[in-house]
Amino acid sequence: MKAGNSYGALLGDLRFEAFLWTQFLGAFNDNVYKMIVSILAVRIAGPSTGSLYLAIAGAVFVVPFLLFAGHAGQLADRFSKTRVLQVTKQFEIVAMLMGLVALASGRIDLMLVVLFILATQANFFSPAKYGILPEMVSEANLSRANGLLELTTFVAIVIGTSFGTFLFERWQAEPMRMGLVLLGIAVAGSIASLFIRYVPAAGSTEPFHWNPFAEIISGTRKIAGRRSLLFCVIGISCFWFIGALFQLALLLAGKEVLHVSESQVGLLVTALAAGIGVGSIAAGAISGKHIELGLVPVGAFLMGIFGMLTGITTHYNQAMVWLVGFGAAAGLFAIPLNAWLQDEAGAQEKGRILATNNFANMVGVIAASGVLWLLHDVVGWNAGTIMLLAGVGMLIGSFATLVVLRFEWLRFMMHCVIRLLFRYDVEGAHHIPQDGGVLLVANHVTYVDALFVGLAGRRTARFMMRRIFYDMPVGRHVFRMLGAIPVEETTPRLIAKALKDANEHLGSGEVLAIFPEGHISLDGEVQEFKRGYERMVRGLGVPIVPIRITGAYGHPFSCKGGDAFRSWELLWRPRVKVRIGAPIWEPVSPEELRRIVLDLR
């Protein structure tokens, strides 16, 4: 695999490219066939019953995800996900051979049977497709990998829908040709799957459950018992619900509100899908090396705004713009949740968790159809009002996500501020252990060093800070939210209490960060280290991770000249390097610790 953490590194990995092509061709083929069947249903059955067959086709494609989601999850946990992907792609060839016969016969019932088989194949493909990502790419690239996955999926949907229409218009009198094209796409996808990187089986030893809902019930219990997983599944299902509701409402809004042709309605759906693809790529780029859950409230808020704008507009071009914005916001909302779910699910239950998530997503899609029917056909609201209501609901939901993810959102906002003010580079973040108590020690150059250190790793760090700063009116609530430990330096007893609190936090497995110099450097050099850190780690056996901050001295936030905001030589985006050294597990004196930090120059 190409070195580095970037989209270029992922796309330079031929094994990952094979994975993308495999899933792209599968989604493309599904939508080509579904579009051909939909057009044929209307042509053969006529206007009176064609809509019934369209509704049946939609249901046929959803039902396998409800009936066989548990079985798909078990296979993904029991066998190599690479092999599951390859076998299901070969099954697609069989389905397309049957599709060839169905198209040649002109019988709608046979075409719907093939559509059911294709949906079943997609159901077994899905948990392995999402579950293999954290096993195939590093965590630093997981958000980007999800962005590329969603981009290629929605591109496949858009192009597949258009290509299905093109094939029907060109060869409607020669259905065998259409069938051969579909068969060729299935064969190409199966060949591409042979080049996907092999990952070993997760090793689940649970007996196979033939009851189609036993695995889903078990997965639901697992998810309900873990707040982070439950939040992810609810969020992703809301994404599918709102997305399906918008897509269905758009088909009605074209006639009722915008008064445009069917081809223009198709472009509206394309704009929505294109926006999701763009937002997915943006989410991966913004997340960088981490899974950025702070994007979720931002995406939800923007979905609400663009959803309401789409609902109130009566102009076609404006609707196109708002739909691209809505889709992009949806990508920002969904990608971090997908990546977090994949990363948090245990190795031996990843398939079960992802299959349960698929089941919940399909329930969301069905619920969207029911809500549309209720509000449009029963209550009598037009499509624009329904989209406006969905936008309002998403806006309200954004505040709920902000409450749940307030810390992640605050961290993301601080990260944006730091990136705006500094060219900020971190080296050696992998040295921070991912479990257990850790003490981070860094030199002190500016008043924003806590942000430099706190944003350097994935884990959340508590900071010790002087009470005079902790009690500042502007920052008091933020510092409390971040879990900072105030140090009252008026008496030795209060200092000892703060050190004891720090020891307890480290003993409970948390990350604590301190600046052992005790004050900001006035000359940019690393000053003498004080001994307080020794009492923090006493009797715990936790590692000390040294950190060196360079490049910030001279910025207004530093104290060049003896005071802050007097030196402006590095006002605009100086390059700040945060270099993290290897953990120190043995006792170390202040002089030796200072030398280690100096050596990180």
- Mind giving me the DSSP string for 302-326? HHHHHHHHHHH---HHHHHHHHHHH
Domain with CATH 3.40.1130.10 in the chain: 422-598
pLDDT digits 0-9 by tens, 245-264 = 887 788 788 878 888 876 78
Domain with CATH 1.20.1250.20 in the chain: 15-140+162-197, 227-398
Please check whether residue 323 is in contact with residue 310, taking contact to mean a CB–CB distance below 8 angstroms: yes
Report the distance separating Cα 169 and Cα 172, nearest Å: 6
Q: Chain-wide mean pLDDT for the chain? A: 85
pLDDT-derived band at 569 (thresholds 50, 70, 90) equals low
- Fold of domain 15-140+162-197: Growth Hormone; Chain: A; (1.20.1250)
Q: List Cβ neighbours of 183 (8 Å cut-off, separation of 6 or more).
A: 93, 96, 97, 99, 100
Bridge pairing between strands 575-580 and 438-442: unpaired
pLDDT digits 0-9 by tens, 106-131 = 888 888 888 899 889 988 998 888 88
Q: In this predicted structure, which of 40-54, 97-111, 481-495 has the lowest mean pLDDT?
A: 40-54
Report the distance separating Cα 150 and Cα 243, nearest Å: 14
Bridge pairing between strands 511-514 and 485-487: unpaired
- In sequence order, the β-bridge partners of residue 425 are 577
pLDDT-derived band at 142 (thresholds 50, 70, 90) equals confident
Report the distance separating Cα 149 and Cα 85, nearest Å: 15
- Comparison of pLDDT for 6 and 5, the residue scoring more: 6
Instruction: Report the CATH architecture of 422-598.
Output: 3-Layer(aba) Sandwich (3.40)
Question: Given the structure tokens 């000892």, which residue do they identify?
Answer: 496
Position 3 pLDDT exceeds 70? no
pLDDT digits 0-9 by tens, 144-174 = 888 888 888 888 887 887 788 788 878 878 8
Report the distance separating Cα 10 and Cα 244, nearest Å: 30
pLDDT-derived band at 553 (thresholds 50, 70, 90) equals confident
Q: Which amino acid is at 423?
A: R
Position 51 pLDDT exceeds 60? no
Report the distance separating Cα 295 and Cα 302, nearest Å: 11
pLDDT-derived band at 388 (thresholds 50, 70, 90) equals very high
Cβ neighbours around 217 below 10 Å, total: 13
Structure tokens at 260: 């445009």
Position 410 pLDDT exceeds 70? yes
- Comparison of pLDDT for 369 and 586, the residue scoring more: 586
Radius of gyration of the chain (CA): 28
pLDDT of residue 305: 96
pLDDT of residue 45: 58
Overall average pLDDT of the 337-353 stretch: 79
Report the distance separating Cα 411 and Cα 141, nearest Å: 20
Report the distance separating Cα 369 and Cα 2, nearest Å: 44
Nearest by Cα to 461 from 477, 485, 444, 428: 485
Which pTM was predicted? 0.77
Position 550 pLDDT exceeds 80? yes
Helix (H) and strand (E) counts in the chain: 22, 7
Structure tokens at 92: 């697609």
What is the distance of C-alpha 252 from the center of its chain? 30
Overall average pLDDT of the 567-588 stretch: 84
Position 2 pLDDT exceeds 50? no
Instruction: Report the CATH architecture of 227-398.
Output: Up-down Bundle (1.20)
